[in-house]
Structure 1
């Protein structure tokens, strides 16, 4: 039981700087109201300036600097990786076991082991679970289907809707809730018209009156449902029982997740023979998911029209980023086809090949959506322009896994492996160490994410520059790095402090990076490192104390870079002068 918060409690927490404000889905605010939302958030943060705030928004929905005046830092939520997915699976089943009896807990244990194994062995399934929502849906479907799962993203959404709109009540033996009984398809026919209307008018929210109008227009074609209740009663049933519609504020509703809105809108557009309308919006990012999901609803005669239309739209723009996106979408749609004309498949492949190699990270990320199918289209290491190698490596690492390993190895054998130093976690750990990292040496920086990766450093004695990204103990670090003459070392001091330096060979250590160190961390132990030339403090965490750099004044050749602190909160900044950089 959680007690009700006292009057004024939220204001006091924010005023004391003890609050974390989470603002979810700014892109779901209508365009007309978005500036009002901006004004509201700006005013709230001005009133409570010590409040930490995280605001989420879909990519490209607002300008990149939309909240720059409020000192927001823009971050991208990365897809879940293998270890993230495994951790989520464990947490999901732990939560499910809380309400289970002994027999169900045993079954959940078996299901958890089976699903974890499926994620390890099936890269296509792992690709579907890159967001927490879909990972949760997969866990639920896996339990519901007693271990059997859909294979494609479209089938996953389709199965999730079947679960939410039909089988959930059936399994709970809930019969005719609200006095109305509808099939999955009848639910979808009503919801998809509402979803298509929202997409067409560019909204994500609707009032009860607006939804009622859609229901009233649809029911005459659904006599079995119409006979069971008034339009208002049918709408109440949809809101109460579908699991897809949620009340945001009084009399204002939205789909529980935008993906389901887009899936249902795509179904309506295909069934209503509106592919030309969809394709007219090919240049609008807000319609892209609808276009992609339409592919799964298309029949054999319709899918080539969709693919051809996306190819035409891609060839009709000079913006390379948009061209890449549209060609990738055409290829993703083509993947839905059980049969597609060979000539059209070749045209899709040639279109994708025309935007390879990628020229920037967004293009690499778009191409990575094709998964392993993009890898055979990549140029050889010798044919990649020098300034494009990094982006090709980004693409290979974003695909990751065993299928991308040969491509990573070819670049490493060509002397370009240094670009893979941050990508170890994306590949099978041991194979990547022996086939890719073994070709590196000395100053090439390698990110070490887990204890298993740290152990494998023993097979790579030539590496002297490491970033310890995991929460390792001093004993682990000493055991695997103790005798290695390091030149570059990064770690999280909250886990080990500076005790790690006492057992390492620091005689050649020229660069140190401290990640998420507290501002009051005593830096005195670094003053005894004779070769130290650069110190970086990344994402410094304020703890109410100033950052004291005075112990480092004796290192005349030292430069310092600090991220996350103001100059007035740094002691000893004047002595360092231009050798100190604050970002």
Structure 2
């Protein structure tokens, strides 16, 4: 394909946002001058107003090139793939000469785009020296296109230019408009795809760019919040044999392109899917190309595929051309013929299959075969599959080379961050008096979470944290202590107090108190569960209400099933209509809680035991124990135990015994014999013998800590898995157990203890676990300012690993440099390394991976540094200065380790 044709592909919607980043962003009115402005004073990568580094500029030109190239069509690329990076780098170097031009914006506009491009080339004649003829031609075409938009930017910025150069301004705007119109009329499939992808990206951002934060019901409170404000980065546990690495969940595709992500209800799986889809659709290179973790999302097209929607009314699963139709995308009819196939065939897709656990069990294996067919046909795309933990067995997609991750319970730091974000969101729509109250509530809730174990046990995922924040405000600082009480209070807030406190006076003529609403909704929830669905047709839901109304006379007296259902849909806060004619609960957890209540009241305990092996019923069974009367609950738990004892499958036996153990915490009263029987079965599963068993045990909660053994008589692998289980459970109650592992001879066990610091109270963990932990063969990890401050009080250590974001001066002050012999730092910690002279005993320096070259020449001045460890593929500048002074040792970084953790 001709290079000029490729450059012409750049519609204004693609290139304008990139061009704007080349220039300083100033406050309102800053550009309204009555005189010309020097071009060199406007650029954002030189001088005192510098906002872009050379590396940032390179990222922008790389993105510009990717946008222009589009799909890698066979034989249509103007330069070999290996030279594309060189073209991007040459274009970045040419654009830096905007800061060298001896002209103002008026003169530049008068020159026109071609002349400006020639001036930039003349200022940097060596920029294209190493390119082939085709590469130089592509560089020039892209440069001219960029100059057109640069000049148009000038005309929009300055009133002087706009007033004195109306003709030039109009001509530039006309050229850009004609380019966009030509692109729109061009019958080329590639051009049609590009234009449609712009519309589709805008749709994804609009559809998934908002997040519901449950329970913020203050005055003028919206129901949804911008995803960028509300999103909380959570951790996932990468299971690789017995080695465990915590990574940030959104970095799941760092070094891998097929991921199966497990997480309990409310843990943030769907929110992560939304964030990945929106981030990919936005294609903000300052985010995506900031480092390796997100680089694989550049240039991709996201497809959000909620499995509940794909399987709701169809026995068959969709082919790629049906993705948009089956997910009810309003642009489905406008997509160019064969567009999805072209995207996937070129390896540009990001496929997000959300909720495998919501596929009926009878069709789950067929779903797996459907996914295998897609994987075999479209190999080069990026795939994420989410599921509740036990819905699919271990290594369910191992033959397809999927990496399994598990969303970890929220750390103490995550919970504190969530509380802060929640109250910030609430403050943004509150009156001054409410804001003052929210300040008080936030501070008291953070203190309560840190000091009350029963409350900390509940605050383990975003959903529960949101309910806790809402109830804490709603009840003016009072909180229930158990999970059942928490849900009861949340339902009361949503069903009864919400309308009353908003002065809603029966706008539909129907007034129902909390009790009849609960009875109707629990029956509806139970019908969802019995049908194995997370969505129902509206007509089906109305029939359920019609069948239930005779037993709820106060509701029957106010309207028929259609009217009552409409009232519940609009006023309960628990139901929604994601598409016309389709109904679901706002969150699966509410559905399971209400369904469990219905099952217990209808005496269906035997049915619950029968369904206990089905993953979709797990939370229903746990909540049923909470709703049951003491004797009823005890017999139910014993039935689960007996069914597990009689199972011929070891997996089923463990599953049922673990489920009974997990349900114990919900029982308000339990006979000692029942508790003893359950503890005996759970003890047979301890110590854990695989990462999956460790996660299953941790999901049960703090009650497992009482059963976990110390390291005595455990193998190294068992000790590592047992300690990992305790880390996942977290809380102050885990610290005494972990202290018993601090002298373990296996360095992997002790390294796990070092890595886990940020998941606990900083001071308590440092004093209880780290203070006496041997340091000779592990790196003490520092991830937060609080940890750095506490670290100095420990007296420092010899081996230290530091995450990103620390000021160099603070590191020197806080790390006790006179003790440090081995230091592990982000490669981008600083431009030069002379400051390391403060570490007078430093022997070995390790650098984390970076996408940009690292200049190591200044390390030659360090008097004692003997070894420099760098990633094997890390670009390095100044290596020759280290010859005969420092031994440079390449190492293969573990793609699962997130340097920020």
TM-score, normalised on structure 1?
0.83
Paired positions, count: 548
Q: Structure 1 pair 15/422, CA: closer, same or farther in 2 (3 Å)?
A: closer
| 1:36 to 2:318 alignment | yes
Residues 155-201 of structure 1, C-alpha deviation per residue, up to 9 Å, x if partnerless? 21221111111111111121224211112221122222221122122
Q: Structure 1 pair 210/251, CA: closer, same or farther in 2 (3 Å)?
A: same
Single out whichever of 10-19 and 113-122 deviates more from structure 2.
10-19
Q: Secondary structure at the match of 2:584?
A: strand
Residues 271-295 of structure 1, C-alpha deviation per residue, up to 9 Å, x if partnerless? 1111111111111111101111111
Q: Using the alignment, how far apart are the partners of 2:779 and 2:358 within structure 1?
A: 32
Q: Which residue does 1:548 correspond to in 2?
A: 875
Q: CA deviation at 1:476?
A: 1.5
Q: Structure 1 pair 422/194, CA: closer, same or farther in 2 (3 Å)?
A: same
| 1:10 to 2:337 alignment | no
Q: Secondary structure at the match of 2:777?
A: strand
Q: Secondary structure at the match of 1:175?
A: coil
The equivalences for 1:148-187 within 5 A come to: 148-187=478-517
Gaps of 5+ in 1: 1-5, 541-546, 565-583
| 1:101 to 2:435 alignment | no
Asked if 1 retains the 8 angstrom alpha-carbon contact of 2:801 and 2:825, the reply is: yes
| 1:87 to 2:414 alignment | no
Asked if 2 retains the 8 angstrom alpha-carbon contact of 1:263 and 1:290, the reply is: yes
The equivalences for 1:426-575 within 5 A come to: 426-437=759-770, 438-460=772-794, 463-469=797-803, 471-481=805-815, 482-491=817-826, 493=827, 496=830, 499=833, 502-503=836-837, 505=839, 510=844, 512-514=846-848, 517=850, 519-525=851-857, 528=860, 531-532=866-867, 534-536=869-871, 548=875, 558-561=889-892
Q: Using the alignment, how far apart are the partners of 1:557 and 1:113 within structure 2?
A: 49
Q: Using the alignment, how far apart are the partners of 1:284 and 1:420 within structure 2?
A: 35
Q: Using the alignment, how far apart are the partners of 1:385 and 1:181 within structure 2?
A: 64
| 1:424 to 2:795 alignment | no
| 1:119 to 2:119 alignment | no
Q: Structure 1 pair 222/459, CA: closer, same or farther in 2 (3 Å)?
A: closer
Q: Structure 1 pair 49/558, CA: closer, same or farther in 2 (3 Å)?
A: same
Q: Secondary structure at the match of 1:246?
A: strand
Q: Structure 1 pair 43/559, CA: closer, same or farther in 2 (3 Å)?
A: same
Q: Structure 1 pair 217/11, CA: closer, same or farther in 2 (3 Å)?
A: closer
Single out whichever of 317-326 and 119-128 deviates more from structure 2.
317-326
Asked if 2 retains the 8 angstrom alpha-carbon contact of 1:29 and 1:204, the reply is: no
The equivalences for 1:312-323 within 5 A come to: 312-317=642-647, 323=653
Q: Secondary structure at the match of 1:113?
A: helix
Residues 460-490 of structure 1, C-alpha deviation per residue, up to 9 Å, x if partnerless? 5573333323521111212223334333514
Q: Structure 1 pair 375/103, CA: closer, same or farther in 2 (3 Å)?
A: same
Q: Which residue does 2:133 correspond to in 1?
A: none
The equivalences for 1:326-341 within 5 A come to: 326-341=656-671
Q: Structure 1 pair 389/525, CA: closer, same or farther in 2 (3 Å)?
A: farther
Asked if 2 retains the 8 angstrom alpha-carbon contact of 1:405 and 1:432, the reply is: yes
Q: Which residue does 2:46 correspond to in 1?
A: none
Q: Which residue does 1:264 correspond to in 2?
A: 594
Single out whichever of 183-192 and 369-378 deviates more from structure 2.
369-378
Q: Structure 1 pair 405/182, CA: closer, same or farther in 2 (3 Å)?
A: same
Residues 523-575 of structure 1, C-alpha deviation per residue, up to 9 Å, x if partnerless? 545985964464338xx9xxxxxx735765878863343678xxxxxxxxxxx
Residues 72-109 of structure 1, C-alpha deviation per residue, up to 9 Å, x if partnerless? 36543322211111122122112212222222222222
Equivalent residue in structure 1 for 2:630, among 287, 300, 303: 300
Q: CA deviation at 1:236?
A: 0.8
Q: Using the alignment, how far apart are the partners of 1:226 and 1:154 within structure 2?
A: 29
Q: Using the alignment, how far apart are the partners of 1:44 and 1:86 within structure 2?
A: 45
Asked if 1 retains the 8 angstrom alpha-carbon contact of 2:775 and 2:797, the reply is: yes
* Higher-RCO chain (CA-CA 8 Å, sequence separation at least 6): 2
| 1:211 to 2:522 alignment | no
Q: CA deviation at 1:269?
A: 0.9
Q: CA deviation at 1:331?
A: 2.5
Q: Which residue does 2:382 correspond to in 1?
A: 71
Asked if 2 retains the 8 angstrom alpha-carbon contact of 1:477 and 1:500, the reply is: no
Q: Secondary structure at the match of 1:295?
A: helix
Q: Secondary structure at the match of 1:351?
A: helix
Residues 423-458 of structure 1, C-alpha deviation per residue, up to 9 Å, x if partnerless? 112333234334422322122122212112123333
Asked if 1 retains the 8 angstrom alpha-carbon contact of 2:783 and 2:802, the reply is: yes
Q: Structure 1 pair 450/324, CA: closer, same or farther in 2 (3 Å)?
A: farther
Q: Secondary structure at the match of 1:411?
A: coil
Q: Which residue does 2:679 correspond to in 1?
A: 349
Asked if 2 retains the 8 angstrom alpha-carbon contact of 1:245 and 1:256, the reply is: yes
Q: Which residue does 2:304 correspond to in 1?
A: 23
Asked if 2 retains the 8 angstrom alpha-carbon contact of 1:282 and 1:313, the reply is: no
Asked if 1 retains the 8 angstrom alpha-carbon contact of 2:445 and 2:472, the reply is: yes
Residues 216-259 of structure 1, C-alpha deviation per residue, up to 9 Å, x if partnerless? 11112222211211211111111111111111122112111000
Q: Using the alignment, how far apart are the partners of 1:26 and 1:394 within structure 2?
A: 32
Q: Structure 1 pair 420/109, CA: closer, same or farther in 2 (3 Å)?
A: same
Q: Structure 1 pair 141/381, CA: closer, same or farther in 2 (3 Å)?
A: same
Q: Structure 1 pair 123/490, CA: closer, same or farther in 2 (3 Å)?
A: farther
Q: CA deviation at 1:308?
A: 0.9
Q: Structure 1 pair 501/347, CA: closer, same or farther in 2 (3 Å)?
A: farther
Q: CA deviation at 1:121?
A: 0.9
| 1:224 to 2:522 alignment | no
Q: Secondary structure at the match of 1:379?
A: coil
Q: Using the alignment, how far apart are the partners of 2:199 and 2:893 within structure 1?
A: 33
Q: Using the alignment, how far apart are the partners of 2:847 and 2:606 within structure 1?
A: 54
Q: Using the alignment, how far apart are the partners of 1:20 and 1:465 within structure 2?
A: 43
Q: Structure 1 pair 224/21, CA: closer, same or farther in 2 (3 Å)?
A: same
Q: Using the alignment, how far apart are the partners of 2:832 and 2:319 within structure 1?
A: 45
Q: Secondary structure at the match of 1:178?
A: coil
Q: Using the alignment, how far apart are the partners of 1:163 and 1:34 within structure 2?
A: 41
Q: Using the alignment, how far apart are the partners of 2:409 and 2:671 within structure 1?
A: 33
Q: Using the alignment, how far apart are the partners of 2:305 and 2:562 within structure 1?
A: 30
TM-score, normalised on structure 2?
0.56
| 1:46 to 2:322 alignment | no
Asked if 2 retains the 8 angstrom alpha-carbon contact of 1:303 and 1:337, the reply is: yes
Q: Using the alignment, how far apart are the partners of 1:336 and 1:426 within structure 2?
A: 25
Single out whichever of 434-443 and 314-323 deviates more from structure 2.
314-323
